[in-house]
Amino acid sequence: GAVVSQHPSRVICKSGTSVKIECRSLDFQATTMFWYRQFPKKSLMLMATSNEGSKATYEQGVEKDKFLINHASLTLSTLTVTSAHPEDSSFYICSARDKGLSTEAFFGQGTRLTVV
């Protein structure tokens, strides 16, 4: 199946710093990538949809200046959590949609972010 690689898997950062998370589709072209966050024992909450070469579309309530998304190529999207605070601590997961398969999406391994 399609492989999506997400890095880093875990990161601890200090309050006020920024953290960048990368999401790569390794064996397919992903015109669309999605970013989710998940709190413990909760479901995945869609944060934004990232289309290659255009601005990301953010879900209601998600601050676009706080969570910067860049989708520079068909295989790479990045999420930068700016000026991180402890409440940003969460599990962030990306998923990518294969250009040839219109609806199935494949997930990266997730990034456990802890802000101290």
- Contact residues: other proteins, CB under 8 A: 1, 6, 32, 34, 36, 42-44, 46, 49, 51, 57, 91, 93, 95, 97, 102-110, 112
User: 66 or 112: whose CB is closer to other proteins?
Assistant: 112
User: 25 or 95: whose CB is closer to other proteins?
Assistant: 95
Q: For residues 18 and 83, is the Cβ–Cβ distance under 8 A?
A: yes
Q: For residues 29 and 84, is the Cβ–Cβ distance under 8 A?
A: no
User: 16 or 55: whose CB is closer to other proteins?
Assistant: 55
CB of 58 to other proteins, least distance (A): 12
Q: C-alpha distances in angstroms, 46 versus 13, 27, 51?
A: 23, 24, 14
Q: What is the 3-state secondary structure (H, E, C) of 22-37?
A: EEEECCCCEEEEEEEE
CB of 61 to other proteins, least distance (A): 15
